[in-house]
Amino acid sequence: MFHVPSLIIGAGVTSIVAIIVFLVLNVASNENELLIVPTPNQESDLPKITTDTFMKNGSPILGNSNAPVTLIEFGDYQCFYCNKFFHSTEDSIVKNYVDSGKVKIIFKDYTIIGPDSITAANAAHCANDQKSFWKYHDTLYNNWDGENTGWASYEHLLTFAADTGLNIDEFSNCIITSKYSSIIVNSNQDAKDLGLTGTPAFFIIGPDNKVIKIDGAQPYDVFEGIFNSELKK
């Protein structure tokens, strides 16, 4: 669906941190609309962003659904830096913030690298039919082997499903029929509406409904600092 050369993704995502923009809840709107407050160099003609842009077309929540802080990741299972984030940072976030009920996580697809990105994303949603989204999500990253190298082929996805303990017949039928293609397409559109050009990209929604955007596979201490600041509110 979306093909972006690996070099572009790597160059565009790795070195940029930061807090790009804040989005504030428009309490006067019945649609829970989130309005982007433009930075000085940002165009004001921006797409309409609502809470659904962040919360729908994604994974089940990891953690306590009532956690005061929400972390949304837009990722591609083939992405080098998404894999780097998973192995170097995500576990510490889960251990220190998710397991304690302070932060909840939602994963959304932005399948920009190649066809296997879409197949892998669909497979993770298929695993959710058997209440195993996050287990399969972890299995995908634990078997990551490059971008467009074939590691996320249909045959390998079935092997991962067996390793995860899924019912293979049910899982296989789900993949073959591309059952969750519409969710993936809609999630990709959400990413575009947010102006994303690479993966991973993160949004942190605090207790006051302000949203902080972080680009790239940043180290744990970047997330830790923002979480701690938001949790003081």
Q: Is residue 1 part of a domain?
A: no
Q: pLDDT tens digit string along 125-179?
A: 999 999 999 999 999 999 999 999 999 999 999 999 999 999 999 999 999 999 9
Q: Is residue 17 part of a domain?
A: yes
CA distance 211 to 204: 5
Q: Which two tokens stand for residue 60?
A: 């089940």
Domain of 162, CATH number, reads: 3.40.30.10
Q: pLDDT tens digit string along 33-74?
A: 444 434 344 444 556 778 889 999 999 999 999 999 999 999
Number of domains in the chain: 1
Q: Is residue 216 part of a domain?
A: yes
Residue 188 sits in which domain range?
A: 6-231
Q: Is residue 185 part of a domain?
A: yes
Q: Is residue 168 part of a domain?
A: yes
Select from 163, 125, 165 the least CA-distant residue to 142: 163
Q: Is residue 68 part of a domain?
A: yes
User: DSSP for the chain?
Assistant: -----HHHHHHHHTT------EEEE-TT-TT-EEEEE--TTS-S----EEHHHHHSSBPPPBS-TT-SEEEEEEE-TT-HHHHHHIIIIIHHHIIIIITTTSEEEEEEE---S-HHHHHHHHHHHHHHTTT-HHHHHHHHHHT---SSSSTTSHHHHHHHHHHHT--HHHHHHHHHTTTTHHHHHHHHHHHHHTT--SS-EEEEE-TT--EEEEES---HHHHHHHHHHHHT-
Q: pLDDT tens digit string along 176-217?
A: 999 999 999 999 999 999 999 999 999 999 998 888 999 999
**pLDDT over 90 at 227, yes or no:** yes
This prediction has a pTM of: 0.83
